[in-house]
Amino acid sequence: MLRGLYTAASGMITEQRRHDTVTQNIANINTPGYKQMNSVSRAFPEMLISLVGDSTLGTRRIGKLNTGVFVEESLPSYMQGDLTETGKNSDFALISNINLDDPATGEPIPFDASGKYVTEDGEIIYRPAAFFSVMDTGGNVRYTRDGSFYVDPDGALRTMQGYQVLDSEGNAIVLGYDQPIESLQIDPQGNLQINGEAIEVQMGISVVTRPQALFRDGNGVYLVQDEEAAGIRALQEDDAVQVQQGYIEGSNVNLAQSMVDMMAAQRAYESNQKMIQFYDRSLEKAVNEIGRV
């Protein structure tokens, strides 16, 4: 009986965390460049139940029993968000559709809508994703899809959180006083132009080959603990990545599906709650009534 109580309790904790993840997605539905999080649940190891203590039958296997579930991790979905036109020269959006070839066949990998592909051996491959490179106030390089930038009084291009936007050489992009933001243009490859004349500055766009290695660092940016493991490289000419000036990328959260997921988590939470109430009443009866007999 207590085993069932613990199993139902683990289900409540799992659904609560799942509900929190969906709520976070809904709260950031209007956050530029936000990537939806998906909770991954996993069952506890199964236990083999055996019949013991009967000398006539000996030890007999009854079957397996699952002992509960837990939320193992939350994985972001890096699929492209919709673009919204703002008309501001300091707003930029990335359109990333980078593909990979299957080493076995040489054919392009057929990624699903979430940017994931599972091989016959069970290996999970994620579609590479492109990000703007920025530098936080501590001098650390971070990555973001939020292209809502502005120019500070010193002419530096910054994110709305005050982080410096980097060029392809890792240096901060600084516009001179004679180069107002209205005169700035950018081509689809990220090369900057002033009044239609090209300058030797390319916006810092990094390609993360294994985006599952990214970690959220707040303020709409990601950090990488091991650049080699994440497979970070500079943007190449043959990469299917474009920069759109005067646009921002919106959140890729599906509001309708998120509402369905939130209701499902709430109902599953209530079901586990009722099971706990049932076990509680059964224990009360066993202690108070059966004990008298």
Higher confidence at residue 104 or residue 95?
95
Quote the DSSP letter at residue 82.
Answer: P
Looking at the fold, whether 58 and 171 belong to one and the same domain comes out as: no
pLDDT for 22-74, tens place per residue?
999 999 999 999 999 988 887 776 666 666 655 555 566 667 767 778 777 78
Whether 108 is in a domain gets the answer no
C-alpha separations of 187 from 11, 132, 144 in Å: 51, 15, 19
Q: How many domains does the chain have?
A: 2
Query: Of the candidates 79, 76, 188, 74, which has an alpha carbon nearest to the alpha carbon of residue 127?
Result: 79
Residue 244 and residue 38: Cα distance in Å, rounded? 28
In a domain, 120, yes or no: no
Mean pLDDT of 178-207: 80
Q: Is 207 in the same domain as 268?
A: no
Whether residues 197 and 283 fall in one domain: no
- Tokens 């939350």 correspond to what residue? 74
Query: Whole domain around residue 45: which residue ranges?
Result: 1-77+253-291
Among 32-46, 74-88, 102-116, the least confident range:
102-116
CA angle 133, 135, 137 (to 5 degrees): 160
Q: Residue 51: what pLDDT?
A: 64
Average pLDDT over residues 199-219: 88
Which of 173-177, 267-271, 283-287 holds the top average pLDDT?
267-271
Whether 222 and 182 share a structural domain: yes
* Model confidence pLDDT, tens digit, residues 142-182: 999 999 998 888 888 899 999 999 998 999 988 765 666 67
The answer to whether residues 95 and 215 belong to one domain is yes
pTM of the model: 0.81
Q: What is the DSSP letter of 156?
A: B
The answer as to whether 209 is a domain residue is yes
Has residue 5 been placed in a domain? yes
Torsion of CA 136, 33, 132, 175, to 10 degrees: -80
234 lies in the same domain as 143: yes
